[in-house]
Amino acid sequence: MLKHLCMGMAIAVGTMGGALADDTIIGFVKTADGEANLVVAGKIVKAQPGTPVQRKDVLKTGKPGSLGITLKDNTLLSIGPDTELVIEEFLYAPAKGDFKLGANVRKGSLNYVSGMVAKLKPDVVNVRTPTGTIGVRGTHFVVAVTED
């Protein structure tokens, strides 16, 4: 009996830990072509459909390469070839009214389609580039950052 009780507790704790870990996941890779990677805690992870994305992950594509990400609020990020992007902030807690989305396009191209964060609270969404910040006031934009 004690053996079964301990095993049940271990399973319950393991399940709780998984649920807590899932809170850090902000989205998932939907498409990945060519050279497409995530840098997670300094380690390179090959992007594949279903790969989880966390805040602060670096999304990188090579020449050729592309990456499609869907965030938990249904924001769509389509990243073109030779691109580096970091989702620095993401908060989607509708029950509390807490929302935030901040990204940094270091180089390359991004096609952005708004999800619920931008629809519910557009002033908390911004996308930075080396030369400026885009405040989202609509549902769709494309940005290209060149080395010039």
Which residue type is seen at 102? G
pTM value?
A: 0.82
Per-residue pLDDT tens over the stretch 21-50: 455 899 999 999 999 999 999 999 999 999
DSSP state of 128: E
Q: Does 3 have pLDDT greater than 90?
A: no
On whether the CB atoms of residues 97 and 69 are closer than 8 A, the answer is no
Q: DSSP letters along 54-67, please?
A: ETTPEEEEEEEEEE
Per-residue pLDDT tens over the stretch 99-109: 999 999 999 99
Identify the CA nearest to 76 among candidates 97, 57, 53, 96. 53
- High-pLDDT (> 70) share of the chain, %: 84
